[in-house]
Structure 1
Amino acid sequence: MKAQKGWSCSVFILLHMTNVTWTQIFKVVSPSSAVLVFVGENVTLPASLYPTMSAQTFDVRWFRDDFYSLVLSYQDFQIRPERQSQAYKGRTVLFLEELLNGNVSLRLQDVRVSDGGLYKCFVDSGPWNDEVHITLNVEVLGDQPSISIGSTEHKQTKLKCMSEKWGTTPDLTWRDMNGVDVTSESRVTEERDNEGFLRVSSFLPVKQEFSVFSCLMRSKAPKPDWHSGLTIYVFSPGVPGWSVVFWLSLFLYVAVAGLLIFQWRRMKGHKARYESKAYFLQLYYLRKEIEKTKAPDFMDSTLTGNS
């Protein structure tokens, strides 16, 4: 008990000597997971003080690798753009009204590939300071994939699915005309261009004499898929070109005929329902006319009987 009292006294004396009170001690907190954003979007790097206290009179600095690579600087109740790195000028926002609630989050606009990496938020109250680190992952969706045909060294037909401008390696899937996944038979290569983007290529050897293949490239991040809108009808030199044209034309004719038949049946069904409704409406109005015709005769016979 005496040891505990002595330790408490030592802490109190230490805080008193450094002019720090318990109410001035804080911690800068942020979610532990990395923040994900796509190129061209805006993103908020969340950070706040715990326990909640006003940061209006504090110095708030967001920086990258070193303390002087300033992304944003807040001091003396205002943003100090003259201290900011050129790459971030006009693209950063601090929620000034939220500083009262201890919110020191950074808003970064029009995100670029170069913005990805580690960020540090440093808050200084004078007698006390603390900082937190946040990782920003910048994702880039590549171009629409394209499929081309070529041959291997052994003159075997192969397909090449290629897409550029990816930030990270995408998931790639090959499927044949029956929807069977044949990705395991393919080979993937990737390389960086001068801007740091990935160029992804996948090669699929073709064994069938005639088939249809599709290539799908999908970002690992939760965004809409980009896939190839091109389906390739592959044929070996042993299959005549007129045969491919014939079967392709036949397929198109069958598809168009099926669509026309479907539309004709649909219109026929609408017509039948319309005629049925019209028939019942005619019966309804005919009945009303008969009732109107009978009504005066009934009134005349009633009056004659009374007289």
Structure 2
Amino acid sequence: MWYLSPHFVLFCPFRDVIIIIYHLNKPSFYSFAVMKAQKRRSCFVFFLLHMIHIAWTQRFQVVGPSSAVLVFVGQDVTLPASLSPAMSAQWFEVRWFRDDLFSPVLLYQNLQIRPERQLQAYKGRTSLFLEELLNGNVSLRLQDVRVSDGGLYKCLVASGPYDEEAHITLNVEALGSQPSISLSTTEDQQPRLECSSEKWSSRPEVSWRDMNGIDVTSQSKLTFKRDIEGLLNVSSLIPIKKEFNVFSCLIRSNTTKPAWQSKMGVYVFSPGVSGWSVVFWLSVVLCVATAILLVLKWQRMKGTS
């Protein structure tokens, strides 16, 4: 018996020659052949052919991004992966999976995608760039991203007895709903405003400003609750005085990206004040809010230039 490589074992009994090929590293990629021969020299012929096959096997690496890929819920995303050095992957096996090797997100095998082998949750949402396989592009295209899609993905590429894989992390962000502001009172009849928003994947920043543009966030109390989908519902309470004022609540994603997503709500507290005054001060606060957003946008553009 000879051990030809980490992937193959060759048995040569005295009379009959039985050759078994078994891939030890990945149990999903294996083949075996049983061959009987009258002469013992057939074993050595096969040994020679096998060594030539190993020598000719194309060696490569699967290269993915050095950092996580970011996408928002409902968008499409590409998980980049390619062969290095660049070579055709058309005749290779390409397997994208998460935890279970045998339950792939997508499987490309024998020159075609095998939808019957993939996870039900990904059917109709995944694809490869088939025309780019000739250039070694084995990237995965994922459509209509869901919160549950976030996490680690593995891209395994196999050519005969040789295989390599890359790991790619997908971070999925969900921007919450437009914030709404409502008026309520405490047990001691103290008026307060509540700014609330639903369906955030990570904790956003919440800030309050009054009609003079003064930041009053320090006076507020912020709470988070997760719903059955695992998303965050945000609530911020701030006490107010019994006098005319206009408050704005700004909710902003903490996600690092060139253009932060912001959502704003405006509330006018005006006990005993005429409608015209309310309209006037509401216009003022809207102008202030617009100016704030323009300044933030200008700062982002300046920071990315």
TM score, norm. by length of structure 1 = 0.70
2:205 corresponds to which residue?
171
Residue deviations 1:74-111, cap 9 Å, x none? 01111111101111111111011111111100000111
Does the 8 Å CA contact 2:72/2:174 hold for their aligned counterparts? yes
Helix, strand or coil for the counterpart of 2:266? coil
What residue ranges of structure 1 are gaps of 5+ in the alignment?
1-15, 236-240, 256-307
2:37 corresponds to which residue?
none
1:172-251 correspondence runs (5 A): 172-207=206-241, 209-221=243-255, 222=257, 225-235=261-271, 241=272, 244-245=273-274, 248=277, 251=280
Shift in CA distance, 177/185, structure 1 to aligned 2, threshold 3 Å:
same
Q: CA deviation at 1:138?
A: 1.1
1:268-287 correspondence runs (5 A): none
Helix, strand or coil for the counterpart of 2:196? strand
Residue deviations 1:242-288, cap 9 Å, x none? xx126626837x99xxxxxxxxxxxxxxxxxxxxxxxxxxxxxxxxx
Q: CA deviation at 1:160?
A: 0.5
Helix, strand or coil for the counterpart of 1:99? helix
1:80 aligns with one of 100, 105, 114: 114
Q: CA deviation at 1:21?
A: 3.4
1:259 corresponds to which residue?
none
2:133 aligns with one of 99, 102, 109: 99
1:48 matched to 2:77? The reply is no
Helix, strand or coil for the counterpart of 2:169? strand
1:16-55 correspondence runs (5 A): 17=51, 19-21=53-55, 24-55=58-89
**Identical residues among aligned pairs (%):** 65
Residue deviations 1:34-68, cap 9 Å, x none? 11111111100000011111111111000111212
1:61 matched to 2:90? The reply is no
Residue deviations 1:10-50, cap 9 Å, x none? xxxxxx85943387211111111111111111100000011
Q: CA deviation at 1:147?
A: 0.5
Q: Which has the higher strand share?
A: 2
Q: Which amino acid aligns with 1:160?
A: E
1:133 matched to 2:167? The reply is yes
Cα distance in 2 for residues equivalent to 1:250 and 1:129: 69
Does the 8 Å CA contact 2:243/2:269 hold for their aligned counterparts? no
Residue deviations 1:177-199, cap 9 Å, x none? 11111112211111111222211
Cα distance in 2 for residues equivalent to 1:174 and 1:155: 22
TM score, norm. by length of structure 2 = 0.70
Q: CA deviation at 1:154?
A: 3.6
Does the 8 Å CA contact 2:57/2:162 hold for their aligned counterparts? no
Does the 8 Å CA contact 1:163/1:199 hold for their aligned counterparts? yes
Q: CA deviation at 1:231?
A: 2.3
Does the 8 Å CA contact 2:207/2:217 hold for their aligned counterparts? yes
Structure with bigger gyration radius: 1
Helix, strand or coil for the counterpart of 1:104? coil
1:281 corresponds to which residue?
none
Shift in CA distance, 18/191, structure 1 to aligned 2, threshold 3 Å:
farther
Of residues 35-44 and 201-210 in structure 1, the stretch that sits farther from structure 2 once superposed is 201-210
Cα distance in 1 for residues equivalent to 2:94 and 2:240: 60
Shift in CA distance, 102/250, structure 1 to aligned 2, threshold 3 Å:
closer
What residue ranges of structure 2 are gaps of 5+ in the alignment?
1-49, 285-305
Q: CA deviation at 1:218?
A: 1.3
Residue deviations 1:121-158, cap 9 Å, x none? 00111121111111111111111100011223443221
